[in-house]
A and B are shown apart, each in its own frame.
Chain A
């Protein structure tokens, strides 16, 4: 059963990645090509039909996968690159440093992603970049806390004391012992945050705080769809978002299950 869910997650995530890759070189139609056949139902010429401007929905869904993946990867990268070092410092350093980082993290955690996105969009103009940066910043505390907690566990291991007796500087202990040993946990967190980022970006797109109208994204398509004139045009991007989030979540859970026995062994 476990194997099946992981496999299912892998397949869903694989489909997203594959369509993003294929859309780089080929889509059935130019995703921004406006045609006269508006709101046409699925047919052989338009597999998933067309939207209110007659643009091919299948092509737009494929191209939208690019944005979804890029936002997920970049947002997680921003959060991890800032959050993990801060978390390790908080877990290894003096109590004062740990407290400072912890409280700063709390403040940031209290700031909703939406508010950050509105602020950035107001300052720089709404784009996929501002949305990604907003999601990334809002996710920093998640990685910071995770990394701190994991670091504290590692610091209680004797091999850290042994490294210290061996004359290894604290910075080297962080790189050589702490980081490799907390990496699996961070990987699981990254998978979970990845799907959260996809969902958040879709939400921001829906509110018009992300991609411009010419960039096809799933959230944007959801926003532009007319539920009464053509319900399918709202259901399709909605289903794409739901399935992608489900896929990456299942994948993350799979990685966690796979790592659990090892974690028990470490303790």
Chain B
């Protein structure tokens, strides 16, 4: 079944006369348990797309179907469905964790939401300890503040928050690009394992094709707001049809050679 059906979605910012086209007529379908990597350079519209999927933004044109229903973030019922099953990990954990909240409160925030319903565990404290364990942090981390942790650990906290309400879909916005190179692989493997063990659908935005190769079974290539190519990872990366995908591949090969 299709989790997300993105139907001719465009997004413009700014006034009518001077506007930027962040997304241009994007059509894509994400099925359950697929792991999508959305790649593109800075300004290609990948974060905008992710924000629309997370219900943080709305398309200017076109529509997004979530679980077969049209996603309207002003409608409480559909938004409730979305919040109950979709969680997100942000790029920079220094910005995505409130510096004045304790880790326990940060992680339990989605559990205290009036919008999140259904699968939420009754005992919030037990759930926090459970997800902390799942991301490989000691249970007594709860009482500490985010700035007392390293970058990699902070991203684990962000991941724990996202997993706390038992989501079925995980959105990730460049989840490792703000981290030290040495811990990237750890966090990426952790995401990999958790997506596996919890049976999640993953949509991850990145500019790093190596990350896509490692984690994703499907890939979409965004170029200046247009989805130029999409399909199974092996197919797209080994046999690219589009000129831009080839350029992207060539540039990363240079970087990794």
State the A residues within 8 Å of B (CB): 157-159, 161-169, 176-177, 180-181, 265-266
Q: Taking CB as reference atom, which chain B residue is nearest A181?
A: B100
Q: How far is the CA of A158 from the CA of B172 in the complex (A)?
A: 13
Once the chains bind, are A166 and B95 in contact (CB under 8 Å)? no
Q: How far is the CA of A206 from the CA of B70 in the complex (A)?
A: 67
Once the chains bind, are A159 and B97 in contact (CB under 8 Å)? yes
**Cβ 8 A contact of A177, one of B54, B98, B147:** B98
B97 → chain A, closest Cβ, in Å?
A: 6
Q: Known interface pairs A158-B90, A180-B100. Does A164 touch B56 (Cβ–Cβ under 8 Å)?
A: yes
Within 8 A of A (CB), among B63-107: 80, 83-84, 86-88, 90-92, 95-101
Q: How far is the CA of A159 from the CA of B161 in the complex (A)?
A: 11
B4 → chain A, closest Cβ, in Å?
A: 15
Once the chains bind, are A168 and B100 in contact (CB under 8 Å)? no
B115 at the interface (CB under 8 A from A): yes
B255 at the interface (CB under 8 A from A): no
Q: Taking CB as reference atom, which chain B residue is nearest A166?
A: B110
Most B CB within 10 A of own CB, among A161, A162, A163, A164: A162
A184 → chain B, closest Cβ, in Å?
A: 10
Given A165-B86, A166-B161, A167-B84, output 18 extra A-B contacts at Cβ < 8 Å. Answer: A159-B95, A159-B97, A161-B56, A164-B56, A165-B54, A165-B87, A165-B110, A166-B110, A166-B116, A167-B110, A167-B116, A168-B109, A168-B112, A169-B113, A176-B101, A177-B101, A180-B98, A265-B147
Count A-B pairs with CB separation below 8 Å.
Answer: 71
A145 → chain B, closest Cβ, in Å?
A: 22
Once the chains bind, are B90 and A266 in contact (CB under 8 Å)? no
Q: Which residues of A contact B91 (CB under 8 A)?
A: 158
**Cβ 8 A contact of B99, one of A161, A163, A165, A181:** A181
**Cβ 8 A contact of A158, one of B86, B92, B110, B114:** B92
Q: Taking CB as reference atom, which chain A residue is nearest B147?
A: A265
Q: Which residues of A contact B114 (CB under 8 A)?
A: 167, 169
Q: Which residues of A contact B83 (CB under 8 A)?
A: 165-167
A202 → chain B, closest Cβ, in Å?
A: 37
Q: Which residues of B contact A161 (CB under 8 A)?
A: 51, 56, 88, 90, 96
Q: How far is the CA of A30 from the CA of B83 in the complex (A)?
A: 67
Most B CB within 10 A of own CB, among A157, A161, A163, A166: A166
Q: Which residues of A contact B98 (CB under 8 A)?
A: 159, 163, 176-177, 180-181
A256 → chain B, closest Cβ, in Å?
A: 18
Q: Which residues of A contact B112 (CB under 8 A)?
A: 168
Once the chains bind, are B115 and A167 in contact (CB under 8 Å)? yes
Q: Taking CB as reference atom, which chain B residue is nearest A262?
A: B99
Q: Taking CB as reference atom, which chain A residue is nearest B109?
A: A166
B144 → chain A, closest Cβ, in Å?
A: 16
Most B CB within 10 A of own CB, among A157, A169, A180: A157
Q: How far is the CA of A157 from the CA of B100 in the complex (A)?
A: 13
Q: Taking CB as reference atom, which chain B residue is nearest A184?
A: B100
